[in-house]
Structure 1
Amino acid sequence: MIMMPCAAFAESRPATDYTAEANRSWYDTLDFSDESEKENALRGLIEAPESLIIYDEAGNVVWNVADYSFVNELETAPDTVNPSLWRNTQYNSYAGLFEVCDGIYQVRGYDMANATFIRTDNGWIVFDVLMCTQDMQAAKALMEKHFGELDIKAVLYSHSHIDHYGGILGLINREDAADPALTLAEQLASGKVVVLAPEGFLEHAVSENIYCNAAMSRRAMYQYGVLLEPGETGKMSIGIGLGQSIGNTGLIAPTYEIATDETIVIDGLEIQFQLTPGTEAPAEMNAYFPKYRGLWLAENCTG
């Protein structure tokens, strides 16, 4: 029998004296006057939505950044929240379209992960496609608002965790993908979208999110406080983002797997791949773009 956590909770309570003192002590330990991370988080901002709430087709909320607006209303963290977590939640609430450099853009804060758009000679490569369809649709719409209709040449999955591939159907349709029976050169010449992933991606995506789904879902509920409401005595940021979106997820299988540390040219853009299996995920890879001097590490550089 599979048992899920119960949705009944005791009323939230104020912090105990011990908790309040422990949380306040971090102001003496860390330098909260250093706002360099805030500067980094806001650098290159092109557009930030005034209030970001994303809905599915039935009108259900699948992603809500507006619920965390309370973190910007206080100068210091309340006694119930560790000040570092409070600041992390503030910075994770900065959502919008950002320029990393001329030719590389990111939509951040539209899901737990980011979507990265890299310009090629005649179109775009998209690195990671968020967790759900609706969030990726919103991210794509934000990009197209500023750059016009996107001609997608390729999609790259950094690794086998669902927050980096589950939104693929919000970017392209299944019929848009190249034929995996073709060679990579033939796929690139076909005009279809090449979907690249590290070797072993599909095996681990299936094993983690189908075979182990029940156990991983239960773990996430406890780990992230999924059923709690955002607030000073409820749910805060989960570190790498504001939480997990709850929209529709999908998967388009890779049409080409990166099996060695190889260099590929897609629509004039050179990409140098480095496989990193068994790191942050069982199947994962890094990529370097000499043209932009850009290094893409996904969650291998999460700090």
Structure 2
Amino acid sequence: MGRALGDNDRMRLVTLADIERAASAVAEVAVRTPLLPADWAGRLRLKPENLQPVGAFKIRGAAAAIAALPESAPGVVTHSSGNHGRALGHVAASRGLRCVVVVPDSAPKVKTDAMRATGAELVIVPGSQRESTAERLRHSEGLLLVPPYDHPDVIAGQGTVGLEILSEAEAPDTVLVPVGGGGLASGVGAAVKALSPRTRVIGVEPELAADAADSLRQGHRVVWSTEATYRTIADGARTTLSELTFAHLDAFVDEIVTVTEAEIRAAVGLLARRSRLVSEPTGALTTAAHLKYGDSWGDTVAVVSGGNVEPTLLAELLMAAT
């Protein structure tokens, strides 16, 4: 079944071969999402990962990581604001594995309900304690840690998004990827730069959680406090980079741009009204960026990373878009 998480190659950059290997595990549980034209926004196509069985791209990394676990794995633990926890619970249940998810107390109810529906056990803590609590449970419960982004297997799984984009779009000028912990941007960047080096990979963050932009500008990982990052409506972008994802972004991402809260809110409404896609705020980051900066980006693909949004918030954002 491959190696377990935590081996001594943890800090290596993933390769195209890693991503291609992950693709077989991903194909067993994930949907191959199409590229949808968004002519209302110019030269833009959308990669709607909100259409995945768990409503987000996270199913890819979860599938690749669990496929790499030993047959004797007693169960898994992670920390997540929702999408990774739901994905891991979904894939773990298919393997008959116990799954424990440490969840920040600010996580949207739609996401906590969805995680519980997979059979995952939730441990609710303040946002600043999510990683330390997962580590404690790893040791006290004898579980294997499957982090939401900080491991090559997870990054390789997310990189299959890039494989699919280039199999359909050949060589777009620009690929836009949301950035939270950086796993998706790391994997997509590795795949795109291996197959189409001329294609620009641009990460997108909220202005209120712009640790990746800060990190690349300063040339080393910069950690923003949870008090700072939890101000953004884009809950999936509140996590900060790890050393591993910073190394990938430094190697494979050309630029990080930021968008405002108002721009994120507007993009959610526009995606629903103009492309009939339900996107959570984090998933709308790339569309917001294209609307703000995209005139110079040419033929562009934007990853809509997830669609697990609270119904009341979606209704509010739809009303604001009228």
Larger relative contact order (CA 8 Å, sep ≥ 6):
2
**TM-score normalised to the size of structure 2?**
0.30
1 or 2, which has the higher strand percentage?
A: 1
Query: Larger Cα Rg: Structure 1 or Structure 2?
Result: 1
1 or 2, which has the higher helix percentage?
A: 2
**TM-score normalised to the size of structure 1?**
0.31
